[in-house]
Structure 1
Amino acid sequence: MEALKQFFDTVGGWVWGPVMLCLLVGTGILLTVCLKGLQFTMLGYALKQAFMPHKPKHDGSDHEGDISHFGALMTALSATIGTGNIAGVATAVVAGGPGAVFWMWITAIFGMATKYGEGVLAVKYRVSNKKGEMSGGPMYYIEKGLGKNWKWMAYAFALFGTLASFGIGSSVQSNSVAQAVETSFHIAPAYTGVVLTIFTAIVVLGGIQGIAKASSFIVPAMAIFYVVGGLVIIAFNLDLVMPALNIIFSDAFTGQAVAGGALGTVIRYGVARGVFSNEAGMGSAPIAAAAAKSDHPVRQGLVSMTGTFLDTIVVCSITGIVLVMGLLGAGGEFIKPETSGAALTTIAFGKMLPGVGNWIVTIGLIFFAYSTILGWCYYGEKCATYVFGDKFANIYRVIYVASVMMGTVMSLDFVWLAADTFNGLMALPNLIALLLLAKVIVSETRDFKAKIKSGELPH
């Protein structure tokens, strides 16, 4: 186990080095410029598209796809609003200091343009499989958009995506839930693992329809519960809000709260955990976006973009601000905690609102993590069947369900290191494809705006 931890630590350090950070943020900046700040100018319109009822064509027939825009967004959010918002933020604050929260915000702002581009390409290059279901994502827009010479990169993404699903999708989620439940209820992780495993198996057997249906209920309910709970805590401790924001912004450029004052460490963990949380650039969300019933690729791209806003700018901000508030000493200095992950967030919330705060985190984490497990099963299955064929789907589901149980009893450090490594490896081919297909994204955007203006498409 120690040798594996060392291996993933070394590879993870390389994968999340300066090249990856520049590629992640650089792709978002480039797309922001090419799209003329679309994430700022069209956010309101995008939110409207995400939450408006699904409408069929004028002739009564339905659009191509398996689920509604809202269902696709909730499936994507089910996979993104998870332990990254609770345990991931805490890990970033401990390892990188409070300034990491600022770099999570920066990653999200430019990541919205990245997520938009992923959604556009996912719908444009999606295909229908033998069952009549939509399949799409980076492996398909790499193969169809860039040509057969790039198919090796499509396979690389799908392989890394399959492996990543067992980390970010199942093991990390179940590990964090077990940790939070043990902290709050003193229940052994193995028992938590058994319950999670059973409930996962029940839903994933229903495929994308079952996952979307469960996500469309769980995600909105728990997001509202968690955000309102966090806002109540902030309201009860208003005197600590400005000191917390001050240290977040100052530490973002100094790294003084990190051992040795390493600014690079602050940025690395802020960007890495930001991507882990909202998954912009990783290429996972477009797999769900490809299943949406849509009359134009851009419409789903806009809906996909709102996921990053809701995940990081809204939910992660609540966690980050309350965490830093809880870790401020009497003199306004950041106190280095002894614990990390979900346990730290639970303790911090409990400290800021005794008797209630820890329940907000525990309940939120259980349902967020469970929905993430469901969403990532779909992602991983699509990646696995791309590499190994449709016959592998049932085998994948069995292995995936088993990994949920394994995650509850494994080392937290090892699970996070492995998840970070595979996340970075799957992001690389996706980001390269986004850069090479940027012209297609811009072209589709112009086409959509022209058709809206002419009345060819409904506003």
Structure 2
Amino acid sequence: MNPLHNFLQTVDNLVWGPPLLLLLVGTGFYLTIRLGFIQLRYLPLALGYLFKGNDKDSKADGDVSSFAALCTALSATIGTGNIVGVATAIKLGGPGALFWMWLAALFGMATKYAECLLAVKYRETDANGQMIGGPMYYLEKGAGQKWLAKLFAVFALGVACFGIGTFPQANAIVDAAALSFSVPREITVIILTILVATVTLGGVKSISSVASKVVPFMAIFYVVACSMVLIAQYSAIPEAIQLVISSAFTGHAASGGFVGAGIMLAIQSGIARGVFSNESGLGSAPMAAAAAKTDSCVEQGLVSMTGTFFDTIIICTMTGLTLVVTGAWQSDFAGAAMTSYAFANGLHASTFGPMLVTIGLMFFAFTTILGWNYYGERCVTYLFGVKAILPYKIFFLVLIAAGAFMKLDMIWLIADIVNGLMAIPNLIGLILLREVIITETRQFFDQLAAKSSTSLKESAI
């Protein structure tokens, strides 16, 4: 292993070490307490806002519906982390890592609510007439920390261009097409680049339009695929859940191809991979939320927090339980290969099972490219203005084409590092603006209670 790889691995371990994980979970825990467990009390209300009609939204400021804004955020969030990340967490920390992933998601919902609330509150209109917002704007306009805003934009642009947004996703799609369907890499690259160009050159409305159709489809497809395995292995589900909970507090001894893990490794791998998957606290989703047609920052915050619920509580859980009930977590496989093995073993189908994983992986990787293309565009606009958007999009397409032929050992490390660094200025902003978050929330629910009381009185009369 070369010295540069060792150096990057050291930096990655430092960035995603206990301090950042404590800051991420600690911020979520603080907001959960101060907001009165908003993610539990008002999840039904949030889901109601998500699936309601858009008549009211059409009259509000914004570029896309609340649902489309959420799908744009989910297009970047629901990705290879849901397949590869969960397998990695359980391989490192045992089944107990899934429990800590749930806990990180629970507190992460409060964090996602807060950051998306601020995104709508402090958003503005760019020179092209589009809504623009996110951590850059609430750090500068709300917290008065312009240097932190620029730092966040640079880190996020790095993730979009040289990290999760390009190389790993393009490589995953090309590899999957070659291995499962015997499609030459060059053909896949040409098709992928044309598809990405067709969607992304149309801007946020084009991206959100595709995302609002593809994201629900791919999520349902993958959940149904996992359900097929779980139904086939239904007798093992109670024991699997018991194993997940008990291992979270005791660790797990070596068994099969699993080398064993203590409780601290279960906690660290579960929280780190959970955050990496749902991106709560990293500051990415607020950039999509800012484009939503809404006149209420609290309402959009509620809608946005459902993203973490769908990503981790539902999709990551399905992957995790599939790995545990089939015994794949004890195999010698890792990453996507472990998930493929779980499907093959669970469905007793050596070709059909892995094919489902491959199709899911390709959809997830493609939509991640779309989501991160938009995030990069917002950061470029903040740093250099709207004139830089077209050069950025062309450069992004070149990176997609090049990414299919790159070796990913160090690329994943660089992506991991810059992704973690995004979180630091964003979390500082949430802490500095905590009273704004709490005040806006209280005012909204006070008004909601008053309206409800008035309606009851009128109905009684």
Larger deviation, residues 403-412 vs 157-166: 403-412
Quote how far apart the aligned CAs of 1:30 are. 0.3
- 1:92 aligns to 2:89 (yes or no): yes
Q: 1:268 Cα deviation (Å)?
A: 2.2
The question of whether the paired residues in 1 share the 8 Å contact of 2:166 and 2:369 is answered with yes
3-state SS, counterpart of residue 291 of structure 1: coil
Q: Tell me whether 1:289 sits opposite 2:284 in the alignment.
A: no
Equivalent in the alignment of 1:375: 371
- Aligned partner of 1:346: which letter? S
Corresponding residue for residue 159 of structure 2: 164
Return the alpha-carbon distance in structure 2 between the equivalents of residues 342 and 192 of structure 1. Answer: 20
Is structure 2 residue 77 aligned with structure 1 residue 80?
A: yes
In the superposition, relative to structure 1, how do residues 261 and 368 fare at CA in structure 2: closer, same or farther (>3 Å)? closer
Number of corresponding residues: 448
**1:79, 1:376 within 8 Å by CA — same for their partners in 2?**
yes
Over residues 60-101 of structure 1, what are the superposed CA-to-partner deviations in whole Å (9 max), with x where a residue is unaligned? Answer: x71110011111111111111111111221222223333222
Counterparts of 1:301-316 in structure 2, within 5 Å, are 301-316=301-316
Task: State the alpha-carbon separation in 2 of the partners of residues 344 and 34 from structure 1.
Answer: 40
Q: How big is the alpha-carbon RMSD for the aligned residues of Structure 1 and Structure 2?
A: 2.2
Q: Secondary structure at the match of 1:132?
A: coil
- 1:103 partnered with 2:100: yes
The reply to whether residue 69 of structure 1 matches residue 66 of structure 2 is yes
TM-score norm. by structure 1 comes to: 0.92
Partners in 2 of 1:336 and 1:206 — Cα distance?
45
- Give me the whole-angstrom Cα distance separating, in 1, the residues matched to 2:134 and 2:224: 33
Output aligned runs, 1:144-163, within 5 Å.
Answer: 144-147=141-144, 150-163=145-158
Deviation of the 1:234 alpha carbon: 0.2
- Deviation at 1:222? 1.3
Q: Deviations over 1:179-235 (max 9, x none)?
A: 433442344545433322221111100000000000011011111111112112100
Residue 200 of structure 2 corresponds to residue 210 of structure 1: no
Q: 1:373 to 1:287 in 2, by over 3 A?
A: same
**Separation in 2, partners of 1:186, 1:437:** 52
Map 1:24-423 to 2 at 5 A. 24-56=24-56, 62-147=59-144, 150-166=145-161, 167-256=163-252, 257=254, 259=259, 261-327=261-327, 335-338=330-333, 340-353=334-347, 354=349, 355-423=351-419
Q: What do the CA deviations read for 1:352-386 (whole angstroms, capped 9, x no partner)?
A: 11143222211222112211110110001111221
The alignment-based identity, stated in percent, is 50
CA offset at residue 400 of structure 1? 1.8
Counterpart of 2:458 in structure 1 is none
Q: 1:116, 1:400 → 2: CA distance?
A: 30
Helix, strand or coil at the partner of 1:435: helix
Are the structure 2 counterparts of residues 212 and 13 from structure 1 closer, same or farther at C-alpha, using a change threshold of 3 Å?
Answer: same
Read off the aligned partner of 1:38 and give its amino acid letter.
I
CA distance in 2, matches of 1:286, 1:83: 21
Structure 1: state its 5+ residue gaps: 329-333
SS at match of 1:169: coil
Question: Residue type matched to 1:130 in 2?
Answer: A
Deviates more, 1:177-186 or 1:270-279: 177-186
* TM value normalised by structure 2: 0.92
Gaps of 5+ in 2: 456-461
Q: How far apart, CA to CA, are the structure 1 residues paired with 2:389 and 2:4? A: 28
Name the CA distance, whole Å, in 2 between partners of 1:182 and 1:223. 23
**Cα separation, partners in 2 of 1:88 and 1:193, compared to 1, 3 Å:** farther
SS at match of 2:359: helix
Q: Which moved more, 1:270-279 or 1:420-429?
A: 270-279
Moved more, 176-185 or 211-220: 176-185
Q: Partner amino acid for 2:218?
A: M
